[in-house]
């Protein structure tokens, strides 16, 4: 079968590189990779480009409207709890974010903090405005209780995988991103479900490496991950050209009091209740390990579950141990499959 993915040369960025290793690519290889990316960007420009541009235009307009609607700026007290010492910061309600608080503390806090914890129990995106006075803890991947930040990391990996797949697939594959189920770290893999205009795609090792390489590049590009809560009407307009997102939105909005949470990295926008880590740079070692066909769709299409495994940047694991994780991640993830009725799926796109 002809490849549906634009292959990155296997001598370039490999999925098993750590962030530090990826940044040390030989200069000539990196230049070649950039040339490949420029070629692929031109080759992949299609009618979908206008849809992406329109989505981002609507996202920007609503983001600006919400910021302009803040009106009078009230002061709030944010009590930071942590090293080097507890301190109270005076910030702006509905404007200042945990990231802004980290900026007041140190460069290290700003770079290391992946997620915030409000009032000791509420996970909060680093770039999400704080609404009222609160306590604030800044979480990284070496805290004593990493479950909350690890779950946000796993969810972010699924979100990034959608962006990587959009970059990797050729236009003629007619890729449609379906959804990604809630993160379950114990399952051994993060997931993104897609629909392709083929029922017999069996990815080659080179194709899987290409998607893995796209994940690494997204990490190197260090995109800020933005959150935006919108009404169902605005979400429907943003995703009006997406069959599956449009079908999912009414059920999502019904469970979230008419609001829909969107996330964006670069020009990629998707739906998730969050939270997610603050930037793509927190992705370290990563392998996209499996693509399982789970169902036929219509007369020509197929549902596929794409799976991967990753470590946060700065977390080291030897090759043998990571290889065990890679093998485990190839098993079909047990999360509810996308061909099962949406209304019965309580966590689809909501976790």
pLDDT at residue 12 greater than cutoff 90: no
pLDDT digits (tens, 9 = 90+) for 106-149: 999 999 999 999 999 999 999 999 999 999 999 999 998 999 99
Q: Which two tokens stand for residue 334?
A: 């047990």
pLDDT at 340: 64
User: For the whole model, what pTM was predicted?
Assistant: 0.86
Phi, psi of 107 (to 5 degrees): -65, -35
Q: Is the pLDDT of residue 31 over 50?
A: no
Determine the Cα angle at 14 with ends 9 and 17, to 5°.
155
The mean pLDDT value for 18-22 works out to: 39
Q: What number of residues does the chain have?
A: 351
Lowest mean pLDDT: which of 17-21, 285-289, 292-296?
A: 17-21
Instruction: List Cβ neighbours of 103 (8 Å cut-off, separation of 6 or more).
Output: 109, 110
CB 290 within 8 A of CB 328: no
The predicted structure's pLDDT at residue 25: 34
How many Cβ atoms are within 10 Å of 184's Cβ, its own excluded? 17
Please tell me the predicted confidence (pLDDT) of residue 152: 98
User: For residues 103 and 107, what is the distance between their CA atoms, to the nearest angstrom?
Assistant: 7
pLDDT digits (tens, 9 = 90+) for 173-186: 999 999 999 899 99
Q: How far apart are CA 327 and CA 174, in angstroms?
A: 29
pLDDT band at 321 (very low <50, low <70, confident <90, very high): very high
Mean pLDDT on 4-30? 44
Q: Measured between alpha carbons, how far is 159 from 119 in angstroms, rounded to an integer?
A: 27
Kindly report whether the peptide bond that precedes residue 84 is cis, defined as omega within 30 degrees of 0: yes
Q: Are 180 and 159 in contact (CB under 8 A)?
A: yes
Lowest mean pLDDT of 19-23, 153-157, 228-232, name the range. 19-23
What the block records as the tokens of 157 is: 């990996």
For residue 348, the model assigns a pLDDT of: 42
- Cβ neighbors of 219 (< 8 A, separation 6 or more) are 19, 22, 160, 280, 281, 282, 283, 284, 286, 313
Whether residue 122 contacts residue 153, with contact meaning beta carbons closer than 8 Å, is answered with no
As a whole-number percent, the residues of the chain with pLDDT over 70 amount to 83
Report pLDDT digits (tens) over 196-218. Answer: 999 999 999 999 999 999 999 99
Q: Per-residue confidence at 48, pLDDT binned at 50, 70, 90?
A: confident
**94 CB burial (10 A radius; 0-12, 13-18, 19+):** middle
In angstroms, the CA 29 to CA 26 distance is: 5
Tens of pLDDT, residues 61-78: 999 999 999 989 999 999
pLDDT of residue 1: 60
> Is residue 344 pLDDT above 50, yes or no?
no
Q: Given pLDDT bands bounded at 50, 70 and 90, which one contains residue 2?
A: low
What pLDDT does 4 receive?
75
Tokens 């019965």 locate to 344
The pLDDT confidence band at residue 339, using thresholds 50, 70 and 90, is low
Q: What mean pLDDT value characterizes the chain? A: 87
Task: List domains and CATH numbers for the chain.
Answer: 19-29+148-344 (3.30.980.10), 75-146 (3.10.20.30)
Between CA 293 and CA 306 the distance in angstroms is 9
**For residue 5, what are the β-bridge partners?**
169
Per-residue pLDDT band for 9 (boundaries 50, 70, 90) equals very low
């Amino acid at each position: 079968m002809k490849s549906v993915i634009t292959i990155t040369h296997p001598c370039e960025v490999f999925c098993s590189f750590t962030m530090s290793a990826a940044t040390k690519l030989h200069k000539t290889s990196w230049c070649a990779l950039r040339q490949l990316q420029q070629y692929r960007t031109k080759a992949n420009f299609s009618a979908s480009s206008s849809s992406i541009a329109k989505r981002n235009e609507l996202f920007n307009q609503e983001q600006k409207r919400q910021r302009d609607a803040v009106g009078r700026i009230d002061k709030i007290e944010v009590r930071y709890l942590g090293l080097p010492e507890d301190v109270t910061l005076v910030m702006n309600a509905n404007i200042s974010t945990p990231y802004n608080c980290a900026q007041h503390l140190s460069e290290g806090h700003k770079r290391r903090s992946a997620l915030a914890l409000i009032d000791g129990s509420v996970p909060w995106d680093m770039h999400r405005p704080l609404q009222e006075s609160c306590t604030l803890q800044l979480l990284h991947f070496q805290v004593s209780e990493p479950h909350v930040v690890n779950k946000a990391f796993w969810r972010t990996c699924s979100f990034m995988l959608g962006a990587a797949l959009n970059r990797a697939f050729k236009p003629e594959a007619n890729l449609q991103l379906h959804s990604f189920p809630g993160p379950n770290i114990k399952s051994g893999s993060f997931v993104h479900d897609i629909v392709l205009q083929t029922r017999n795609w069996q990815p080659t090792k080179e194709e899987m490496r290409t998607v893995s390489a796209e994940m690494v590049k997204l990490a190197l590009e260090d995109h800020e991950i933005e959150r935006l809560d919108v009404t169902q009407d605005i979400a429907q307009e943003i995703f009006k050209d997406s069959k599956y997102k449009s079908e999912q939105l009414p059920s999502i909005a019904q469970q979230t009091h008419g609001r829909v949470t969107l996330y964006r990295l670069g020009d990629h926008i998707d739906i998730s209740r969050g939270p997610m880590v603050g930037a793509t740079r927190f992705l370290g070692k990563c392998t996209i390990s499996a693509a399982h066909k789970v169902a036929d769709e219509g007369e020509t299409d197929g549902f596929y579950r794409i799976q991967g495994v990753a470590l946060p940047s700065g977390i080291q694991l030897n090759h043998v141990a990571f290889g065990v994780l890679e093998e485990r991640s190839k098993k079909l993830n047990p999360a509810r499959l996308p061909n099962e009725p949406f209304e019965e799926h309580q966590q689809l796109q909501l976790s």
